[in-house]
Amino acid sequence: MPIVMVKNKFQVVIPRSVRDKVGINVGDVLEARAERGKITFTPKALVDRGIAKSLEDFKQGRAYGPFETHGEFVNSLHREVRKLRSKKPKRPAGR
């Protein structure tokens, strides 16, 4: 069982044997918890907010495609532009 020491600034080095077993690499994110007098670290994956919002939109059915051809994709874009233009209030003529 590897033993570690708490350094100044409370830093701890995770021994290579433990890192290899769990698959931890430089830059990985870990969740730290105190459980019944023990500290546990659990690897976590962080998702960018924009990606998370896109995934939520996709789950809610607010997505387009898949498209069989690029022509279908372009036609879909044109339909969406027409929808947006019809919703926009017309501006009064300028000065």
Rounded to two decimals, the pTM is: 0.49
Q: How far apart are CA 23 and CA 18, in angstroms?
A: 8
pLDDT tens for residues 12-49?
999 999 999 999 999 999 999 999 999 999 999 888 88
Q: How far apart are alpha carbons 69 and 34 in whole angstroms?
A: 53
Read off the tokens for 76.
């879909």
Residues of the chain with CATH 2.10.260: 8-44
Yes or no: is domain 8-44 CATH 2.10.260? yes
